[in-house]
Homo-oligomer: A and B are copies of this chain.
Amino acid sequence: VERTVFCVSDHTGVTAEAFAHSLISRFHLVQATYSTRPFVDTVEKVAAVVAEIDAVPGARPIVFSTFSDSDLQDELVRSTALVIGLFDESVDRVSIELGLAPTPGMGRHHTIGDAALYELRLDAVDFALITDDGLGIEHYGRADLVLVGVSRVGKTPTCLYLSMQYGIRAANYPISAEDHAGSGLPPVLEPHRDRLFGLTIEARRLQAIRMQRRPDSPYASLDVCRRELAHAERLFQTEGIPYIDSTTRSIEEITATIIGEAGLTRRLS
């Protein structure tokens, strides 16, 4: 079953996209083609999007919308498509619960946040960059978390996502081939023991990822991957470092799991 799905918003459309993907993914027979129309913030712009939606050939599209203004939603529902306004019913329920009417025009700019939050987020992204891959150990005193694991296990994107989405300062340190000789924790990590968290992955998956980067190198051989992973997991176990397997998890899932298991506090939101 093929369908076109539109996400329409007077803001970025990110909320509508997350919702649409989540909902449509429950219908596994559906092959959806997604289109987002952000910053649709006048009745004229909505009318243009309606014309575009109604011109899609075949089965009518499914439209998810987030508008902060009911005039815009009123215009959108003129479309012949199935239009699902994400906030339609919920705003009323929350309004009754709070005994407050929604503030006109509010909500449109909710992600701007104030300057302090913006700086906190930038600071966390900067931190992830200057402490990536074993760099900037002198900054570990400010770290909320130090992620450890073998090369290409997913440390960098996890740290970047933690910083971007939650304002958490996450460093990462590679368990490298050179550490394999010694046993025990690399000495530079010793003072930060309580902030360590490990990441591991299945050897075949790691091999596939490494092959993308350096095809047919010893680095990407299954044997090397297996040995490095075995060493890292042994280290996690003997040193009592909590760890998770990233094999079948998305970055969002890895991140949410680490926040829960390490008891981290989100700085944003």
Contacts and interface: CB of A to CB of B under 8 A. Distances in A.
A100 B250 contact: no
Interface residues of A, number: 82
Given A27-B98, A82-B97, A115-B208, A256 B12 contact: yes
A123 B1 CA distance: 31
Contacts of A21: 110, 269
A231 interface: no
A17 B102 CA distance: 19
A30 B102 CA distance: 10
Nearest to A249: B112
A252 to B, nearest CB: 5
Interface stretch (A153-161, A192-200, A218-226): A153-161
Nearest to A161: B164
B38 A260 contact: yes
Interface stretch (A88-96, A137-145, A170-178, A183-191): A88-96
Could you say which of A23, A91, A164, A205 has the most chain B C-beta atoms within 10 Å of its C-beta? A23
Contacts of A14: 18, 165, 252, 256
A34 B165 CA distance: 15
A107 B25 contact: yes
Contact of A22 (B15, B103, B132): B15
Contacts of A232: none
A169 interface: no
Contacts of A154: 122
A84 B93 contact: yes
Contacts of A11: 22, 253
Contact of A62 (B97, B109, B111): B97
A157 B256 contact: no
A13 interface: yes
A38 B260 CA distance: 8
Interface of A: 1, 3, 11-15, 17-19, 21-30, 34, 36, 38-39, 62, 66, 68, 82, 84, 86-87, 89-91, 93-95, 97-98, 100, 102-103, 106-107, 109-113, 115, 118-119, 121-123, 125, 129, 132, 154, 156-157, 160-161, 164-165, 205, 208-209, 212, 248-253, 255-257, 259-260, 266, 269
